[in-house]
């Protein structure tokens, strides 16, 4: 089992370009697995972890409702945003500058074969990272992602998640609001949930800006521990 994961820092990159790149890596791992089964081989499968910031974009998961996008094409263009219907789970979400987006493209057979465990560990990675900033975050029953003040009228989401998996290979991932412009969330019903707000790390800490690099390093550390993996450049 290959527990090495190649980390790729993509900087700020167009959503569709990144999605296509994810698909290339995803398909490459799938093809190795298919070849192994057909030819009774034992070729190692690669694992990747992409970090990226996207320009303003709204994405709708395969189970999502287009009515949760509150903008028409002209309004999207006026806000400098794009829209894509994509092949992950979940409903609608927003990506943009000031947000750390992580796409682990893993062969889970290198780690464990349990999608629910995979999602819970991604959530735990974020929960442990936020704890280092003095924030108590948690899961909200029946709602994937990471939240603050669950069970109160002030519940708010700080990290969205949506993944796709085939033959235990994952793609898509999480989006953690660090210095995000929360105004862009006003143009959607985030994740199809109408009665809860969205927040960002800088807002919670009362800071103008939080170091994205510091947050990323903390995420990587907790990911490595939780998945018992080795991250390589």
Domain carrying residue 176: 4-232
pTM across the whole model:
0.95
Residue 191: per-residue pLDDT: 58
Residue 192: per-residue pLDDT: 55
Residue 220: per-residue pLDDT: 98
Residue 63: per-residue pLDDT: 81
Contact 213, 53 (CB under 8 A): no
Residue 62: per-residue pLDDT: 86
Total domains, the chain: 1
Q: Which residues are catalytic?
A: 191
State the DSSP string of 92-156: EEEE-TTEEEEEEE-BGGGT-S-HHHHHHHHHHHHHHHHHTTT--EEEETTEEEEEESTTSTT-E
Q: Which CATH number characterizes residue 48's domain?
A: 3.30.930.10
And the tokens for 8? 């790729």
Q: pLDDT means per 10 residues in the chain (233 residues)?
A: 97 97 98 96 97 96 89 94 90 94 98 96 98 97 92 94 95 97 89 74 97 98 98 94
Residue 182: per-residue pLDDT: 95
Strands (E), 65-113: 82-85, 92-95, 99-105
In whole angstroms, what is the distance from residue 215 CA to residue 133 CA? 9
């Amino acid at each position: 089992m290959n527990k090495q994961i190649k980390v790729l820092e993509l900087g700020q990159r167009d959503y569709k370009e990144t999605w296509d790149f994810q698909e290339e890596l995803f398909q490459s791992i799938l093809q190795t697995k298919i070849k192994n089964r057909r030819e009774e081989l034992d070729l190692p499968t690669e694992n990747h972890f992409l970090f990226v910031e996207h320009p303003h974009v709204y994405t709708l998961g395969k189970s999502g409702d287009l009515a949760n996008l509150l903008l028409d094409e002209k309004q999207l263009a006026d806000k400098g945003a794009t829209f894509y219907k994509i092949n992950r789970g979940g409903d609608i979400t927003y990506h943009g500058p000031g947000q750390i987006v992580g796409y682990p493209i893993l062969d889970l057979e290198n780690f464990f074969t349990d999608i629910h465990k995979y999602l819970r560990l991604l959530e735990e990675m974020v929960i442990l990272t936020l704890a280092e900033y003095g924030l108590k975050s948690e899961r909200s029953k029946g709602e994937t992602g990471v939240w603050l003040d669950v069970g109160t009228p002030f519940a708010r989401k700080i990290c969205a998640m949506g993944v796709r998996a085939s033959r235990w290979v994952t793609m898509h991932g999480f989006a953690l609001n660090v210095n995000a412009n929360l105004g862009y969330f006003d143009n959607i019903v985030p994740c199809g949930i109408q009665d809860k707000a969205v927040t960002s790390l800088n807002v919670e800490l009362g800071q103008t800006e939080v170091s994205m690099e510091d947050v990323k390093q903390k995420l990587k550390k907790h990911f490595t521990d939780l998945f018992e993996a080795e991250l390589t450049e």
